[in-house]
């Protein structure tokens, strides 16, 4: 049953976004400033999935990247709850961001980026070890996820760079889920998958929610979004209204 913010009152959010603004510098246009988001504020709680919606270019993926620490914001705070403390990832040092990525925040992007010639099994298992799992447990989890995501065992020793787009995305999902992070950021995790594999991924997302993960996701399919999301956040409400400015 979907939950609203009133039901969450009194609980401590795992992610608290406060008055965040984001713009981009258009270097190929002489340094013009392109405002994207302004006044973005929301909470994300353990055990729920919030889906980001809005038109293309509204800044949905940028929100995920700011929470992951890939993008900096011009103003505002992004507070991440980790080890009993709140850390503002918008101002954190790189070493702190790196630690949060390993132990607290999992991220499934639309693209798989790996070291060439490293095997699929090693890539997934290594992600588990980086999240703090013992080596044997990481190997066990890697095998379970790869089997469940229908990656044939004969491919496990190969680099995923040789795989199809759908196979690469399933490896990406396995790598993002193996660490059982407290926070999961999902950027269209089912976009390149067939119907059968979409069902598998949606089931894995629901299981992550059940174990208490706080999930923030972008889902291009409305029916899929409605199946996993407890709340919907329309990013278009936080669109920056200022015009891009040319440098003086």
pLDDT given for residue 246 in this prediction: 38
Tokens coding 207: 């299981």
Q: Cα–Cα distance between 75 and 88 in angstroms, integer?
A: 12
pLDDT given for residue 187 in this prediction: 95
pLDDT given for residue 109 in this prediction: 87
pLDDT given for residue 247 in this prediction: 38
Residue ranges covered by each domain of the chain: 44-71+95-233
pLDDT given for residue 49 in this prediction: 98
Rg of the chain (C-alpha set): 18
pLDDT given for residue 208 in this prediction: 97
User: Which CATH superfamily does the domain covering 44-71+95-233 fall into?
Assistant: P-loop containing nucleotide triphosphate hydrolases (3.40.50.300)
Q: Where are the beta strands (DSSP E) in 29-180?
A: 32-44, 49-53, 75-82, 85-88, 105-108
pLDDT profile of the chain (248 residues), mean per 10 = 51 95 79 86 98 92 95 94 94 95 92 79 96 95 98 95 90 95 96 93 97 96 94 93 41
pLDDT given for residue 2 in this prediction: 46
Neighbouring CB atoms inside 10 A of 2's CB total: 11
pLDDT given for residue 5 in this prediction: 52
pLDDT given for residue 244 in this prediction: 40
Tally of CA atoms within 13 A in the half-sphere of 57 that contains its CB:
4
Q: How far apart are the first and last CA of the chain?
A: 53
């Amino acid at each position: 049953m979907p939950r609203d913010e009133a039901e969450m009152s009194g609980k401590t959010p795992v992610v608290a976004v406060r008055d965040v603004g984001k713009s981009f510098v258009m270097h190929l246009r002489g340094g013009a400033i392109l405002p994207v988001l302004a006044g973005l504020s929301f909470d994300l709680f353990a055990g729920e999935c919030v889906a980001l919606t809005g038109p293309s270019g509204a800044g949905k993926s940028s929100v995920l990247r700011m929470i992951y620490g890939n993008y900096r914001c011009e103003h505002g705070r992004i507070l991440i709850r980790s080890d009993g403390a709140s850390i503002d990832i918008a101002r954190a040092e790189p070493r702190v961001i790196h630690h949060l990525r390993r132990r607290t925040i999992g991220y499934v992007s639309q693209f798989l980026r790996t070291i060439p010639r490293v095997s699929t099994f090693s890539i997934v298992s290594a992600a588990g070890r980086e999240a703090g799992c013992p080596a044997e447990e990481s190997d066990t989890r890697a095998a379970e996820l790869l089997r469940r995501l229908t990656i044939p065992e004969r491919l496990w020793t190969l680099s995923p760079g040789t795989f199809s787009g759908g196979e690469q995305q399933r490896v990406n999902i396995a790598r993002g889920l193996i660490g059982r992070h407290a926070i999961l950021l999902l950027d269209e995790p089912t976009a390149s998958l067939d119907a059968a594999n979409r069902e598998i991924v949606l089931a894995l997302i629901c299981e992550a929610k059940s174990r208490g993960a706080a999930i923030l996701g972008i889902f291009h399919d409305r029916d899929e979004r409605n199946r996993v999301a407890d709340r919907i956040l329309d990013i278009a409400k936080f669109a920056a209204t200022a015009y891009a400015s040319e440098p003086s």
